[in-house]
Amino acid sequence: MKYTKNEAKDYARANLNGIWAAALNPMHADYSLDEDGLRRNIRHWVDDLEIAGIFVAGKQGEFFAMSQEERKRNFEVAVDETGETAQTIMSCSDQNFDTVLELARHAENIGADYIVVHAPILHFVTDQDETVYQYYKSLCENLDIGIAMWSHPDSGYLMSPQLCNRIADLPNIVAIKYSVPREMYVELTRLAGDKLIVSTASEEEWFDNIVELGWRLYLCSSPPYLMQTARDKRMNEYTKLAFAGEIEQARQVRDSLTPVRQALKSTRPGGKPHAHQKFWQELLGQAGGPARPPSLQLTEEEKVKTREAFSNCGLAI
C-alpha cells in the first residue's frame, strides 16, 4: 500500500479527487467477463477521457451476479490496466462479513488505492445506528486500506449525517458515496467536511456541488464515459472550469449537455439500467455486451429508440 492506516485520511485528501467512474463490466455472449473489452474500456476512460479513478465491481459492475473469484479477478484487471495513470476503488460490499474482509484484503494485497463498502442490509431495526457503527469499526480494525462508506436506499434505510459523522472519526474511513437527498449530503458536508470526503453519484448535481459546497470529488457512476468521447469531453471541461472559478463559463458547458442527459434518461427502461448503458457504450465504440442474468435485456424496440436518441443527442463521436 502507498500509505499506512493512520495516513489514510491525509492520502485520500491529497489524491481522492476529480472525476471517478463506476465501471460497467463488459460480458461475452455467454455472460463471461470480457477481460480484453474491460481493458480497452479502461484505457479509453483513462487515456482519452482523463478519468481520474475507476470504481470496480460495484452495482454498475453487477457484483451481485459475480462469484468471489470473479470479483477478485475484476480487481486485478483494473489495477493492472490503470497502472500509475489512474486510481482504483474496489467495491467489497457483501452481506457476509467474512466475504467483505476477504475481498478487502485482496484489494490491499494487489495495490488498490481504496475500497468501498455499502451499509449492510439489516434484518433487525433495533439499535440500527450502533450496529452500523460497529460494522464499520470492525472493518477498520481488520484493515489498513482507506475505506469509503456507501449509503443508498437499496439497504432499506439511509445512514443519517450524524451517524456518518461519528463513523468518520475512525482512522481509515476516508470518504462516502452518499446516495441520499441533497439536504442530507449538504448537512454531512457541514458536519464532517474536514475529516470525510463527501460525494454523490448525480452528474446533474455535480456542478452545483462544486460551486456551492466546494466538492472536488465525483464518486461516481457511468456519465463520465457515457456522456463523453475522445472528441467531446464536456463533463471534464465544465469540471475544470468550475474548479478554476470560471463559474458562468462552466455553467454554459454544463447546460450544453442537457440533450445528452435527456437522451440517456428518456430511453432507459427502469428495470434495465445495465443492459441500456452497455448498449449505449457499444454505440460509443466501447465494449458492452449483455447484462448478466437475472438482469433484464433490452428489446429490439428499446434498442431502436435508444439508437435514435443517441444519434440526435449532439455528442461528437
Q: What is the CATH number of the domain that holds 137?
A: 3.20.20.70
Confirm whether 47 is domain-assigned: yes
Residue numbers of the domain that contains 24? 5-233
* CA distances for 121 relative to 91, 125, 136, 154, angstroms: 16, 10, 13, 8
Confirm whether 261 is domain-assigned: no
Q: Give me the number of domains the chain comprises.
A: 1
| E strand residue ranges, the chain | 18-22, 53-56, 87-91, 114-118, 146-151, 173-178, 197-199, 217-221
Distance CA 218, CA 202 (A): 8
pLDDT for 186 equals 98
Distance CA 158, CA 200 (A): 13
Confirm whether 262 is domain-assigned: no
pLDDT for 124 equals 84
pLDDT for 85 equals 96
Confirm whether 300 is domain-assigned: no
Confirm whether 292 is domain-assigned: no
Cβ pair 161, 189 in contact under 8 A: no
pLDDT for 38 equals 98
Cβ pair 93, 117 in contact under 8 A: yes
Confirm whether 228 is domain-assigned: yes
pLDDT for 125 equals 81
pTM, to two decimals: 0.97
Confirm whether 293 is domain-assigned: no
pLDDT for 262 equals 98
Confirm whether 279 is domain-assigned: no
Residue ranges of alpha helices (H) inside 143-246 are: 161-167, 182-192, 203-213, 223-226, 234-243
The low-confidence residues of the chain, meaning pLDDT below 70, are none
